[in-house]
Amino acid sequence: MRVAWLLALPAVLSVTSAAVLHRRNADFYSVRTKMHQDLSGRLGDPKEKYFHESVFHPHYDGRFASEQLPYTERKQALSNLIQTYLATFADIGVETWLMHGTLLGWWWNRKILPWDSDSDVQVSEESMKYLASYYNMTIFHYKTPRIPEGRDYMLEINPHYINREQTDNLNVIDARWIDTDSGLFIDITTARYNYTHPAGKGILSCKDGHEYRDTYVFPLRDTFFEGVPAKIPYAYKEILEAEYQSKALIQTEFEGHRFDQEKSEWIPVLKKAKPYVPQ
């Protein structure tokens, strides 16, 4: 079954394929587009691990990419990636929110940090069950002014999402939104209520080890990110300070970039060439 519809993102069209729950890893030959060699690194991973990062970089899917994108192209591809993700989830009615480095990028200028090569978001446990039941392995096709030729994005659910335990450290990522052209992806983790937590009721746990009191996350706040509607946790500042320390919210030089207050942009800092010293 194939379905097509308009999404609430300016000048964006989406076409989606059948939503079928696959209980195994989508192998290279079933999902490849232009690649002739599987660079996913699956052969070197434990057999219990579902998602396999590429052999050349941990933030690329080796089923779809053979090399890293240059700096400017990566920034653009990541912007397209989060825009299409947020628009799609809003359209299908699944609540999702920004977390980790993506939330830190929102803090600074409502954009992805330019040195990042992936994005991080969360959903509730009920939302993950819904996605697994109706949208696993769905392909969404987008055309925008920035992608006139169109591009496919795949939502893939890790079947191990049903395991709620943090001991499943090979499958801490519950789902991914994957750019099948560049191989870049968004990590989607599930915030689950931990009913046996020593701190009592109201604790949300993720399989990657992060834990939050639910009043820090809910109610979610409405905002914008990369120019499209998005949601963030209620106590976003406290969450960021707990994860990155308060200096991450004020430090204006980091990872070879300087934050320009007037432009509200992270600008690459050119390295000074070492003076030539005759031998």
- DSSP for 147-201, please give it: EEEEEEEEEEE-GGGG---TT-TT----EEEEETTT-BEEEEEEEEE-TT-TT-S
**What residue ranges do the domains of the chain occupy?**
3-36+71-249
SS3 content of the chain, % helix, strand, coil (to 5): 25, 30, 45
Amino acid found at 278: P
pTM (two decimals): 0.87
Peptide bond into 46 cis (omega under 30): no
pLDDT by residue for the chain (279 residues), tens only, comes to: 233 333 334 433 333 333 333 344 566 556 666 656 788 878 788 999 999 999 999 999 999 999 999 999 999 999 999 999 999 999 999 999 999 999 999 999 999 999 999 999 999 999 999 999 999 999 999 998 888 999 999 999 999 999 999 999 999 999 999 999 999 999 999 999 999 999 999 999 999 999 999 999 999 999 999 999 999 999 999 999 999 999 999 999 999 999 999 999 999 998 765 666 666
